[in-house]
Amino acid sequence: MNMPLTALAFVAVTAIFGWLHVRGSAAGKTSSPKESCPRCGAEVETGVLQCPGCSVPLQAFDLVNAPVIDVSADKDSGAIPHPVVRTDVCVGCGTCVAACPEAGAISLINHQAVVNLEACKRHGSCAVACPVGAIVMATGAAVQRVEVPELDTHFQTTIPGVYVIGELGGRGLIKNAINEGRIAIEHVAQMLAASAGGRPGEKTPYRPGPVNGPYDAIIVGSGPAGLSAALEGKRLGLRCVVLEQGSLSDTIRKYPRRKLLLAEPKRVQLYGGLWVSDASKEELLRVWEGTIARSEIQVRIGERVESVESDGNILRVSTPAGQYLGRTVLLAMGRRGTPRTLGVSGENLEKTLYDIVEMEAFAGCRVLVVGGGDSAIEAALGLINQPGTVVALSYRGRDFQRAKERNRAKLDKALESGRIELLLGSTVKEISAEAVALDCDGTPRVLPNDFVVIRIGGDPPYPFLERCGIRLVTKEISLDSDEHQLIAS
């Protein structure tokens, strides 16, 4: 009798433990690793693209959370840098192809520049010529490294109250910029609410001060990041102003005509309120201009920010037109910096350009290129290849010692064939709608003219950030093919 009972008990215990084991294994298979949202701290399953707590796309923090690395070892390695194309920035204009002297070293494939390292001689002319800064020179693992401002998860810099959003923070693509603009301005609203005694989560505890007092947010740059921040700031009741050194959304405006702008990356949800879709640049700009008009966002065009300084709890922003006081500053400038100007009358006319994206747009025109470096020579050489274009090159110096030998050789051939008029020892005195007034070795000359292209260098944005006291770091990231990639072969 005892024997059957013992056997039955053994079978029952075995079955129970077996069931528990299967249940535990099943639970282990269905449960996913957890992580915290960098912004709100909510628990999120690994691989989820959007935080269920604050709704922010988690991909927005990929670069912010990437590790800081030491690049000194690369500098001592002796490796020769090669060109790398950032497809998230490349607009497919083909300027790099025209500038490269090596046949087949760089070409356009599906409207994107692609480098053939076997044919490439690594002299970097494509990087110099690229009008949007989409080509960088890098070595080895550095193809996945980028120098960026040090930011927290709200895109605030090492200077309290100063934020960096959009392309200047190291990330391209319009959708990314729009999302970062909203994330940053929401943090501004939270900080201002806290300073006014508001409670966490309260929508509108803060009220802007008088119209003659400091702005709640001074937004520098009117690209997608800046406009997104301004639009959300307006919705939150903040008093904001947008300062733009060029024209509205200047970088996008300089893209090729009818350039199709894609609402990439597809896997990232749009968090900001600024409209974006797969559309031409003209359609995108038309919608944005309408949004700004309806929202009555304050945009000051033609105001270049020269400095940002702390004055107690207030930030002082200086431009040639005067000073602005703000509680916070959002830097939404591009990565290309500020082109140097001639400082002459008429330079603000629409015919005066500092970048060339579409050479064919100047077919049949009279163009004066100003400058003595490689970028000026390359612009002149590219323009003479357009049918019917008449090109003159003005340089205050006597020779082109700063230019690369291959560019000087190409220029000599163009001069011998009479395709370029060279004006050495000349300076521009005035630009008018129909002509340009020059001083050529003390002799006045009026040159009938349709466009003036000024290529005399620029002031890059990162020294500006360092002057503001913002720390720059180098980070290494894994680039997702759905978002952008670095093409090196």
Sequence-distant (≥ 6) Cβ neighbours of residue 427 within 8 angstroms: 394, 396, 438, 439
82-86 and 135-138 strand pairing: antiparallel
Q: Do residue 388 and residue 399 come from a single domain?
A: yes
Contact 57, 47 (CB under 8 A): no
Cα 410 versus chain centre, distance: 32
What CATH number is attached to the domain comprising 407?
3.50.50.60
DSSP 270: P
> Do 318 and 184 reside in the same domain of the chain?
yes
- For 115, phi then psi, to 5°, come to -95, 135
434 and 424 share one domain? yes
Q: Is residue 42 part of a domain?
A: yes
pLDDT at 141: 46
Closest by CA position to 163, among listed 144, 181, 189, 143: 181
240 found inside a domain: yes
Do 123 and 228 reside in the same domain of the chain?
A: no
Q: What amino acid occupies position 441?
A: D
- Going from the C-alpha of 486 to that of each of 141, 173, 187, 265, 395, the distances in angstroms are 11, 14, 32, 15, 36
- The last residue of one of the domains, among 91, 120, 147, is 147
**CATH code: domain of residue 78:** 3.30.70.20
Tell which of 40, 61, 82 closes a domain: 61
Residue 442 sits in the same domain as residue 358: yes
Query: Is residue 477, in this structure, part of any structural domain at all?
Result: no
In a domain, 482, yes or no: no
Residues 219, 95 share a domain? no
Q: What are the phi and psi torsion angles at 83 (to 5°)? A: -70, 140
Model's pTM, two decimal places? 0.70
Q: Which SS3 state, helix, strand or coil, does residue 482 take?
A: coil
Whether 46 is covered by a domain: the verdict is yes
The residue out of 116, 147, 178 marking a domain boundary is 147
Confidence (pLDDT) at 1: 47
End-to-end CA distance of the chain: 80
* Domain assignment present for 110: yes
Report yes or no: 173 and 134 within 8 Å, Cβ to Cβ: no
As a whole number of angstroms, the distance between CA 399 and CA 381 comes to 17
Within a 10 A sphere around the Cβ of 471, how many other Cβ atoms?
12
pLDDT string in tens for the chain (489-residue length):
455 555 555 555 555 555 555 455 444 445 567 888 988 889 998 878 889 889 898 888 888 888 887 766 555 555 677 888 877 667 777 888 888 888 889 998 877 889 998 889 888 888 877 766 678 777 654 445 677 899 999 999 999 999 999 988 877 778 889 999 999 999 999 999 888 775 544 555 566 666 778 999 999 999 999 999 999 999 999 999 999 988 888 777 766 666 666 666 666 788 888 888 888 888 988 999 999 999 999 999 889 899 999 988 899 999 998 999 999 999 998 777 778 889 899 998 889 988 776 788 899 999 999 999 888 998 999 999 999 999 999 999 988 887 888 888 999 999 999 999 999 999 999 999 999 999 999 999 999 999 999 998 877 788 889 999 999 988 876 544 334 333 322
List the beta strands (DSSP E) in 371-477: 390-395, 420-424, 426-431, 435-440, 443-448, 451-454, 458-459, 472-476
Given a contact cutoff of 8 angstroms between Cβ atoms, the answer to whether 389 and 363 are in contact is yes
Residues 6+ apart with CB under 8 A from 9: none
Residue 440 inside a domain? The answer is yes
Are residues 43 and 130 both part of a single domain?
no
Residues 319 and 179 reside in one and the same domain: yes
pLDDT of residue 70: 74
Closest of 133, 172, 131, 135 to residue 354, by C-alpha: 131
The one-letter amino acid code at 83 reads P
Report the C-alpha gap between 173 and 166 in whole angstroms.
8
Q: Is there a single domain that holds both residue 92 and residue 231?
A: no
Query: Does the N-terminal peptide bond of residue 57 adopt cis geometry, omega within 30 degrees of 0?
Result: no
Which tokens hold the place of 177? Answer: 């910029």
Are residues 289 and 244 located together in one domain of the fold? yes
29 within domain boundaries = yes
| Of 437, 480, 461, 420, nearest in space to 147 by CA | 461
The answer on 392 and 413 residing in a single domain is: yes
One domain for residues 99 and 230? no
Note down the domain range covering 76. Answer: 72-147
Number of domains in the chain: 4
